Amino acid sequence: MRENIPIIRLRSHSGRLVARDGVVLCFFMRCSHKEVAPAVWRALQTYLHAIPSQSLNWYGSDDGDTLPLDDKGWEHIRWQILERTWGAEWLVDLEEDASAVGGYHFEYAGRKLDDPGFSHAENSTCGVSFSFPTEYLLEHGPSRLRDLALELAGELPFSFGYASLAFVSPHGLWYAARKELRGLLSRYLGLDLYHLDETSRVIGTRARGAYWLTFLGQPLLVQLGDIEALRNTLPFPEVSFHPLKDERLLLTLGEWPDAIDTAKKVYLPQYRALAHLLEPFLYEERTGWISLDKDNIRRWLRRLCQ
């Protein structure tokens, strides 16, 4: 329910806002950049039409600077996604604010998966994420966000995807406030902590966890069984099943996303049942990006399996 969504603002020691509450949509595609580039560009246009104008104002340049996303900037982004043919990676980062984390953010990590010089290519993907402030969800309602997620998913040849309440924090800026973050992670089991670039390098065709909206592609869906088998495994009235083209499926775990606040002893059995079902198919991180301890991220990814 909407009243279960917390307001979160995490700041660095210098006072910079590095993480806030919001919603993130992530999709992982086991395809090379050249195969998915047009779909990613169309999905970006869908996102832009859905959010307020001027919500994305800055982009990360190739040399590490943050530049205004004006007409020249958009020309560069279009070239980066659709026209640049050389290289092994295509990294696009569009932000609302250049000085602090905003609610709107687009990130794409494209890769040439058949490049023999690309390390860990056997488990790499092209990943894309779209974020929204919580205010967008509260204003438009969960049905609108679900419809938008379906529209985005329809453009993308994903193997796994999800939409969730989240600590919105592009490319791991939350690390600057990790001490404060740890307590929030243990309290709010339904808030995702994401690092698209890191995860998209290692997830392959595996799963990341159980989420409000969980998109299952191939081969993961066939490994879990057909839709009827999933209905029997997840016999909860809150769960809905939405078949998609190309033998894919959207599982919706409730009308609203939930932060799963352990302080309120919230118990949502459908989340735990799906988490247990997916546990054998969860990927393994190569690094411990919550802390220096790799086991921390492994335990956190399996938090709903306890």
Confidence of residue 291 (pLDDT cuts 50, 70, 90): low
So where are the chain's domains?
A: 2-305
Confidence of residue 118 (pLDDT cuts 50, 70, 90): low
Confidence of residue 289 (pLDDT cuts 50, 70, 90): low
Mean pLDDT of 268-274: 95
Q: Which of 44-53, 92-101, 117-126, 182-191 has the lowest mean pLDDT?
A: 117-126
pLDDT at site 116: 63
Who has greater pLDDT, 156 or 298?
156
Contact 59, 94 (CB under 8 A): yes
pLDDT tens-digit series, residues 177-188: 888 888 899 999
Confidence of residue 292 (pLDDT cuts 50, 70, 90): very low
Mean pLDDT of 47-76: 92
- pLDDT over 80 at 120, yes or no: no
Say if pTM beats, i.e. exceeds, 0.75.
yes
Amino acid at residue number 67? L
